[in-house]
Amino acid sequence: MGAGLSNDGQIGVASSGKAPRTARGERTLRKILDAARDEIGERGFSDSSIVGITQRAGVALGTFYTYFDSKEALFEALVRDMSAQVRDHVAPALEEAGDVFDGERLALESFLRFAREYRHVYRIIDEAEFVDPAGFRAHYETTAERIAARLIAGRERGEIASSYSHEDLEVLAWALMGANVFLGLRYSVWASADPASVAAATSRALRAGLGK
């Protein structure tokens, strides 16, 4: 997974004007973001510190300011980065889908595996509601938009009953996203369960409810 790329493929997580210009700089930025994920994920935003983050990253304190203006700026970048990592982790699984329901099953299974490996994503996104409200909202809005687009495409292919309107599927996308979030919390963060089994059970219910 990369350092968090913007839609045009450029590094989009450093403060304005501070994007790395070399591969070495990108690796350093990645170290800082990973360290921030662990520091803030374990201690929370308020109790974490730039010193703690740079010590975890193994970089000098001054290096932090090469890429970020403040701890708040780093946190905003971290939210974008974690959101991008979730997206990029799930995307390859969708390529193997036989139909829309299979796609949602594979997407959920992939997300459950991601959440198990990166459990701090929950604390980081939750804290974003107060530290970075715009990033918090963007994370969920873009996630729901991707799910809705997949459901709409499934309807157009005849896999979902035509009685479901565009608006219906947008509502269902938010409902499905909410279910996925709490499934990850229950089966990846609080306890470990087989991601494939959890995703299969959810997929059966989805297929029964939306299928033709």
**Consecutive sets of 10 residues in the chain, 212 residues long: mean pLDDT of each?**
36 74 94 96 96 97 95 96 95 95 97 96 96 97 98 97 96 97 97 96 94 75
Give the per-residue pLDDT at 3.
38
**What domains does the chain contain, in order, with CATH numbers?**
23-69 (1.10.10.60), 75-210 (1.10.357.10)
Give the per-residue pLDDT at 19.
85
Give the per-residue pLDDT at 85.
94
Give the per-residue pLDDT at 16.
78
Give the per-residue pLDDT at 13.
76
Give the per-residue pLDDT at 121.
93
Nearest to 145 by CA among 180, 120, 171, 113: 171
Q: How far apart, in Å, do the first and last CA atoms of the chain sit? A: 37
- Taken in order 114, 184, 140, 18, the sign of the CA dihedral is negative
Diameter of the chain measured on Cα atoms: 59
Beta bridge partners of 175: none
84-87, Cβ contacts within 8 angstroms, sequence gap of 24 or more: 84/2, 84/4, 84/5, 85/1, 85/4, 85/114, 85/118, 86/111, 86/114, 86/121, 86/143, 87/142, 87/143, 87/146
Nearest to 144 by CA among 110, 174, 166, 109: 174
Nearest to 71 by CA among 36, 42, 35, 117: 36
d(CA 37, CA 137): 19
